[in-house]
Structure formats: structure tokens, C-alpha cells
Structure 1
Amino acid sequence: MKIDEINFRDPFILPVKSEGKYYLFGTTGITTWEGKPDGLDVYSSDDLVNWEGPFPAFRPNKDFWADQNYWAPEVHEWNGKYFMFASFKSEDRRRCTQILVSDKPEGPYVPHGSEHFTPKEWECLDGTFYVDKKGVPWMIFCHEWVQIEIGKMCAVKLSEDLTEPVSDPIDLFRATDAPWVRPVKEDHYFVTDGPFLYRAKNNELLMMWSSFGDKGYAIGLARSESGDVKGPWNHDDQPIFGKDGGHGMLFETFAGELKLVIHAPNDTPNERPMFFSVSEDNGTLSIK
């Protein structure tokens, strides 16, 4: 199938060079907001044009605690295994990020360690993985606007085996710190979504993240003044992608080209993964 046949939100690409394959993970569009999801799926491709799937990457057993909002899975290789960071929720438990593990990039993935890697009393989502200059693993995640009105970007340090958080969360910034962000509704609800960290060629640490701007769902860039996860974080004045698309991540093709993948439009059930080539010049990213 072609990419425009795949109804995914929050797309994430894992290139596996040893296999010559790209793996595409994402939120299944049809069960994003309503209904009980079957699990999380994956597609594979060797050229980013022709895709096979869906294949089951994660299927919950009868004891798995969450039965709704299986959102934003992303997969990272760490110490010879593949770790999936994904958001889950149930009627009686708040949305959180949990980590799953597999020996293979396509899965099957099973729960790994703690059920909550974000505070149990918080509504959270979109955990992503970052390893600092000292080799310490972190998770960056969003404390949701649905609970606190102005969404926050937060970080927590993880154990070496990624089984549990080993620090209290720290606040990195609020949605309203970025000049391009507009309220999602009324005049005091502001979204933080989809963080993804990228070390630029000039060694600058960038964070791509999503909120709402003048033309709808959008992607902005934040820059760490210290060069590490704790920041402080400064924001570009304008989004890198500004019109009705977001939750992006960057990856390098097997040919060495930098690519951005997002979902657009931000409208269920019409959202699809979309790819863009990206140029990088002294820490400035531009969509070609």
C-alpha cells in the first residue's frame, strides 16, 4: 500500500539499517478518540513509498490495565533491545506514558517495568526518549492542558534498564512560552504535544513539539541554551510547520537525507503520515 492509505496519527519512523527497512508506528486513527483499540500496529517499507502491514506490534493481554487512548507509540533502540514509549488510559486511571520492550523492531512488545513513568495524579502523554551527553537516559513528556489549562513540557530521569523513573519530574517550559502558540479553545487553554529531541550538526540541542498556531495544529522548535535537556529552552518565533499538521519527528534515510514525518490534516479520520525533506544550516531547520 501507499502512505496515503495508512490512517495513522502521531507517526514515528524507526530506520533499521541492518535490515534495510523502515518501520512506521503510530496512533490508529479510527480509535483515537472513541472505542477500544485492539493494540498498536506497525508497517514496514524499504523505500518509504511502498508499505506492508499492518502487523500487530502490541496486543494487550487480559490483565493489561488500559483500555482506551493507545496513543503516540515511538520505538528506540537501547542496549540491544527495542523500547516502545506509548500513552495509555483507562476509565479509572489517568493517561500516562508506559514503556514496552521487544527483541525485534517489529515486536511483539510487552510491558516493561513500571506501569506509570509519569506521576499517577497527572494527565500526561507523548513520552519520548533522550540520552544526555553523559549517557544518562531521560524521558521528555507533556503534562496535559486538559488538567492544568496551560500545558507543560517536562522531563524525568530513567534507570539504566528503563524499568522505572529515578527522579522527580522537572518543568522545562510552558506552552505559552512560545510566541507562536495560540489557545486551542477559549482564551486560556494551551496545548503541548509530541516532543522530539534532535542534536543538530552544530551540537545545538533542539526540541520539536506541537501546539496550535494561527493556522491550526503546528510544529515549533525550542533550543536548549545549555545544550542539555534541562535547558533553559528558547523558542523560535515562527513554527517550522504552521498549517494543520503536526506531531512530527526527524529521521535520516539510508541515503543520509534528513526527513520530517508528521500527520496531516489534524482531522479524524482523514489524517495520514506525510514526509518532507529537511535542510539544516547552523542549527536552522527548513522544510524543502
Structure 2
Amino acid sequence: MSVPPAYNAASDVRNPQQVHRLADMPVHDPFIFADRKSDMYYLYSGASPRLNGVDRHGVLFYKSADLEEWEGPYVAFAIPDGVWADPQHGAWAPEVHEYRGQYALFVTLHNEDRTLEGDPVQGYARHWRGTAVAVSDSPEGPFKLLNADGPIVSSEQMTLDGTLYLDEGEAPWLIYCHEWVQTLDGTIEAIRLTDDLSSTIGDAIVLLRGSEAPWLKPASEAGSAGEVPTYVTDGCQLYRTSDGSLIMLWSSYEDGSYVQTSARSESGRLEGPWTQLEPLVREDSGHGMLFRTFDRRWMLVLHRPFKMPDSRAYLYEIRDAGDRFELAD
């Protein structure tokens, strides 16, 4: 396993340190880390040459003391040269977790030139796509990739939106989406990680399939233009409620519009079985995550609409209902 150097491109970002409101910040796949050491909230999103003035894709962040005014953007990570991912092919769904004295960044990277078997599906080709893990001593980075040679899950599988989950014994797991472009019926899966987060242990288990949501219609109808039904799974995140219920946030499409939904493990364990709950937010909204404010309130952040450059982050106060999370009144 080779480890590339960190790439720090903070000086490439246009207009850093300005005060922003969420409505002014182009954000996709938002993730907020509440850092209790500094009493600062960090909002992470993908960094794009077209939108942010950087010379390569990566991860940027804004920071705020009150969730109202945000300073930034700054670059926490940029894809270095000489690794499996192409610096010009995108960085999706960044998230940062405090883990065993360090900060771990999970981000989906791509290499469109390294193709996989299979014909394109609805115009989408199959190629290397997967979650990479990088670490830093600060939530601001710079983050260093743990593995330069490939994503953490097999490069033969198109995966995305990986997140960290610690089980009852504090063992780390990667929860991720297996791309509908490859599976047609997208799945959310779990695989055990080594304690240093650098590789996987054993086989993955399927937690749920996109088609299991009773409200979800396929992205294409069978027989329409020769296409088969497809079901999207995006943005998986796991949380415990006050009564110990294990809840998963995830996103998909309903009649072509993005939806933020959730599911509950009936066993309270990762293996499930998982029961689909009613969507939390519709209106072309999704890829959300929950966090606790410094005064211990639950908040949901998601983006709306789906497509950039119009996508913005929105905050909702959340109520812990014991066996589920709900929007607060």
C-alpha cells in the first residue's frame, strides 16, 4: 500500500474568509461536523474547478460558530497526482469523523478512464468509482489518502457515499451504496473495516435494496425504450435514537424528484431486517445527515435542488421520536 502526500490548495479557492449564508453557498452532499474541541461547526462539500476556482477536484469546508454565518471556503483535501482517482473526474459526498485521536475523511472518487464490463445504463458508463479514506490531525486538513492504489471496496464494484459506522463493540464498518448503474436495483451494503480504516475484512452484507421502498417508483419502466427498471440508493447514514433504535437515512427518487427518507432496523442491529419509513423531506431534497448541536438538539442538513450549481444546504430541526426521527413541528 502506497501513501501519497497531502495536496494543499487552499490558496486556489476564490474569496476565502468571507461571511456567507447557506442560501449563498453552492453545496452538494452536505456534511456538518460539530467539533466540540473548537466549538465550531464544519460544513463539507465537494470542491470543483468550475464552481470553486480550484485546479482539481477535492473537498472544501466552511466553518461557523452559530450555523448562521459561515466563513470560507477552504480546501481540506485535493486529489493528488499519481493515485487511482483522476483529479479532474470529481469528488462526491465528503464527510469527516473524529476517530481514535484523528479525523477521518470519507469521499467518493472516480476514474472514468478505467472502465468496467457492461454496457452503459441510461447513458451512464461503468467505470472505477468508490469511497476513499484519508486522515488528518485536524478537521481542516490537509487530509492524506490511506491508499493510493484503489478505493476501499473492490474497484470492480461501482460504489459511492461511504460512511463510517461503529458497531456495539466499537468495531468500524463502511456503509455504502452499490451503484444502480451497475446493479440496476441499487443496494446499501456494509463491510467490516480494519481498525486503521485502510482495508476491509470479510464479505459485504446487503442491508436493503432501493426497490424495497413502497413509495418508490423505478426510474424507468420496463419495456420503455428497451430499458429495465432502475432504483437509486444514495446518501446512507446510521444513527441511534433515544430508545436504542437503529435508523438509516438514505435518498432516492420519487417521480423524478429527489427524496430524503429513512429506514429502521427491526433487530436494532446492522444486519436488520430493515423496515422502510415514510420520507422526511420531498421537494427534490436529499442526501442528508443528522448532527447534534452544541446544545444537544438534533438537526438535519440536506441539499436542494439536486443539480448544481443551484444546489444549496438546508437545515431542519429534528425530533427524536424513539423508534424514528421526525421533522420538528
**TM-score bin, normalised by smaller chain:** over 0.9
1:112 aligns with 2:131: no
1:276 aligned residue: 316
2:254 aligned residue: 213
In the TM superposition, residue 132 of structure 1 has moved relative to its aligned partner by 0.4
Aligned with residue 307 of structure 2, among 267, 270, 277: 267
In the TM superposition, residue 173 of structure 1 has moved relative to its aligned partner by 1.2
Identify unmatched segments of 5+ residues in structure 2.
Answer: 1-19, 115-126, 223-228
1:285 aligned residue: 325
Q: Counterpart of 2:202 in 1: which secondary structure?
A: coil
Q: Give me the whole-angstrom Cα distance separating, in 1, the residues matched to 2:38 and 2:201.
A: 34
Q: Give me the whole-angstrom Cα distance separating, in 2, the residues matched to 1:216 and 1:30.
A: 27
> 1:281 corresponds to which letter in structure 2?
A
In the TM superposition, residue 66 of structure 1 has moved relative to its aligned partner by 1.4
Q: Give me the whole-angstrom Cα distance separating, in 1, the residues matched to 2:141 and 2:217.
A: 38
Judging changes above 3 Å, is the alpha-carbon distance between structure 1 residues 247 and 31 closer, same or farther for their aligned structure 2 residues? Answer: farther
2:83 aligned residue: 64
In the TM superposition, residue 30 of structure 1 has moved relative to its aligned partner by 7.2
Report the number of matched residues.
Answer: 285
> 1:245 corresponds to which letter in structure 2?
S
Aligned with residue 96 of structure 1, among 114, 130, 150: 130
2:108 aligned residue: 87
- 1:130-151 CA-to-partner distances (Å, cap 9, x unmatched) read 0000111101000011111110
Judging changes above 3 Å, is the alpha-carbon distance between structure 1 residues 31 and 176 closer, same or farther for their aligned structure 2 residues? Answer: farther
Would you say the 8 A contact 2:175–2:191 is kept in 1?
A: yes
Q: Give me the whole-angstrom Cα distance separating, in 1, the residues matched to 2:213 and 2:25.
A: 32
TM-score by length of 1: 0.94
Aligned with residue 194 of structure 1, among 231, 235, 254: 235
TM-score by length of 2: 0.83
1:78 aligned residue: 99
With 215-224 and 127-136 compared, the bigger mean Cα shift is at 215-224
> 1:71 corresponds to which letter in structure 2?
W
In the TM superposition, residue 62 of structure 1 has moved relative to its aligned partner by 2.0
Would you say the 8 A contact 1:102–1:108 is kept in 2?
A: yes
- 1:222-272 CA-to-partner distances (Å, cap 9, x unmatched) read 111221111111111x21112210000000101111100000011221000
Aligned with residue 245 of structure 2, among 194, 204, 214: 204
Q: Give me the whole-angstrom Cα distance separating, in 2, the residues matched to 1:242 and 1:24.
A: 22
Identify unmatched segments of 5+ residues in structure 1.
Answer: none
Q: Give me the whole-angstrom Cα distance separating, in 1, the residues matched to 2:295 and 2:61.
A: 22
Q: Counterpart of 2:62 in 1: which secondary structure?
A: strand
Q: Give me the whole-angstrom Cα distance separating, in 2, the residues matched to 1:285 and 1:200.
A: 7
1:241 aligned residue: 281
Q: Give me the whole-angstrom Cα distance separating, in 2, the residues matched to 1:28 and 1:189.
A: 29
In the TM superposition, residue 176 of structure 1 has moved relative to its aligned partner by 0.5
Q: Give me the whole-angstrom Cα distance separating, in 2, the residues matched to 1:7 and 1:16.
A: 22
Would you say the 8 A contact 2:56–2:79 is kept in 1?
A: no
In the TM superposition, residue 37 of structure 1 has moved relative to its aligned partner by 3.9
- Report the aligned-residue RMSD: 1.8
